[in-house]
């Protein structure tokens, strides 16, 4: 009989051949002494480099590592959804390939699941968070402004919807991700909006965030995300998430 998987870690990856090894080795090192079982699902989003090859070569060396290899690019939201629905864990966490929030911080999430929360998310906008950011000045301004706009447009109280470190109890995954319609940057606030509409309890937990100078979030990403925000609002008004 297969041992029950306690934690599934989903990592969306696009052109990450130079960073993914360090991230996977760090996860392996931090989790190897845990007394619960886990799996690591790297979901390749049609990378043009050797991301899939690098991950495949690591499978014999890293416990629980699996690769879902998409040959075409669909967007981060698409591959996170794919990994979430494919995963088998009691808790399912997605995190970024750049390791900006390290896996050991999941330990801080567990007490809240035990308290009855259904979803626990990392946040840099709550007390106790630590930010090591090397991004441009415009990103800091746009980041704060976009978070405010998201709260106002969607009417949700979550202060930081966009951090790439979110954990879901297994029973929430199908109801939430089956309703998802956004495949790129805006998927974070869409799935949280859906979760809140479904009545799930969400907890924001402070994290230490090390923002990579190689971040793929550009100025154009904010413009695209704003368009996706309007789409989510229209979906909500039309009853699409019911």
169-227 residue pLDDT tens: 999 999 999 999 999 989 999 999 999 999 999 999 999 999 876 655 665 677 888 89
100-119 residue pLDDT tens: 999 999 999 999 999 999 99
Residue 158 to residue 211: CA distance in whole angstroms:
21
Q: Is residue 234 part of a domain?
A: yes
> Do 54 and 16 share a structural domain?
yes
Domain count, the chain: 2
> Do 146 and 29 share a structural domain?
no
Instruction: Please report the pLDDT score of residue 216 as a whole number.
Output: 57
Domain containing 198 equals 100-163+174-242
Instruction: Please report the pLDDT score of residue 140 as a whole number.
Output: 66
Coil, strand or helix: which one is 35?
A: coil
CATH number at residue 74: 3.90.550.10
Instruction: Please report the pLDDT score of residue 1 as a whole number.
Output: 42
Query: Domain ends where: 73, 99, 125?
Result: 99
Coil, strand or helix: which one is 76?
A: helix
Least Cα distance to 191 among 73, 72, 92, 71 occurs for 92
Least Cα distance to 146 among 49, 53, 226 occurs for 226
> Do 108 and 57 share a structural domain?
no
112-156 residue pLDDT tens: 999 999 999 999 999 999 999 766 555 667 777 888 899 999 999
Instruction: Please report the pLDDT score of residue 146 as a whole number.
Output: 84
User: The pTM is what?
Assistant: 0.92
């Amino acid at each position: 009989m297969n041992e029950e998987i306690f934690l599934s870690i989903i990592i969306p990856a696009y052109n990450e051949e130079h960073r993914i090894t360090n991230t996977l080795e760090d996860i392996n090192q931090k989790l190897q002494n845990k007394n619960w079982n886990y799996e690591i699902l790297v979901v390749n989003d049609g990378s043009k480099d050797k991301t899939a090859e690098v991950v495949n070569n690591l499978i014999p060396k890293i416990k629980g590592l699996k690769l879902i290899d998409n040959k075409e690019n669909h967007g981060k939201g698409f591959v996170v959804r794919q990994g979430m629905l494919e995963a088998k864990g009691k808790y399912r966490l997605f995190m970024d390939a750049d390791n900006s929030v390290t896996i050991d911080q999941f330990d801080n999430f567990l007490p809240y699941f035990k308290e009855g929360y259904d979803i626990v998310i990392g946040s840099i906008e709550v007390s106790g968070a630590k930010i090591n950011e090397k991004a441009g000045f415009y990103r800091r301004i746009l980041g704060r402004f976009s978070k405010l706009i998201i709260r106002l447009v969607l009417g949700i109280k979550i202060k930081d919807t966009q951090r790439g470190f979110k954990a879901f109890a297994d029973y929430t995954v199908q109801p939430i991700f089956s309703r998802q319609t956004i495949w790129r940057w805006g998927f974070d606030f869409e799935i949280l909006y859906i979760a809140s509409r479904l009545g799930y309890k969400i907890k924001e937990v402070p994290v230490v965030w090390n923002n990579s100078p190689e971040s793929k979030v550009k100025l154009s990403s904010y413009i695209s995300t704003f368009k996706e925000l309007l789409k989510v609002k229209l979906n909500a008004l039309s009853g699409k998430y019911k």
